Amino acid sequence: DTEVTQTPKHLVMGMTNKKSLKCEQHMGHRAMYWYKQKAKKPPELMFVYSYEKLSINESVPSRFSPECPNSSLLNLHLHALQPEDSALYLCASSQEGGGIETQYFGPGTRLLVL
């Protein structure tokens, strides 16, 4: 089973709201990733967690706050977003998060910031 699940599928929020995106995998992977994707562009890496520790933050604004409560779960907390943050947010997982690995992606959360 190579399934990564994400909730919600769609999210509309105002610029003053606080919301969270959730990602889950049960493949025993120890690395999880957040990506942001604009229409028909490649995904842009935001964060990497490896063994529940943040290993990469690609200079993402602090209005995005990741959290990895355990090795199967990854959250992205959103606060005071801007309209330009509207995008598809993808979660992925891989074996360990170092070297050469295959990443498996979830279906994404489509976020609209009004």
Site string for other proteins, 57-86 (x = CB under 8 A): ------------------------------
Look up residue 64 and give its amino acid.
F
Look up residue 103 and give its amino acid.
Q
Q: Which is nearer to other proteins, 41 or 77 (CB)?
A: 41
Is 21 a binding residue for other proteins by CB under 8 A? The answer is no
β-sheet bridge partners, residue 74 = 23
Q: How many CB atoms lie within 10 A of CB 30?
A: 17
Sign of CA dihedral 46, 65, 82, 20: positive
Sign of CA dihedral 59, 7, 20, 41: positive
- Which range touches other proteins (CB under 8 A), out of 13-21, 34-42, 66-74, 75-83? 34-42
Binding site for other proteins (CB under 8 A): 2, 6, 31, 40-43, 45, 48, 50, 55-56, 88, 90, 92, 94, 96-108, 110
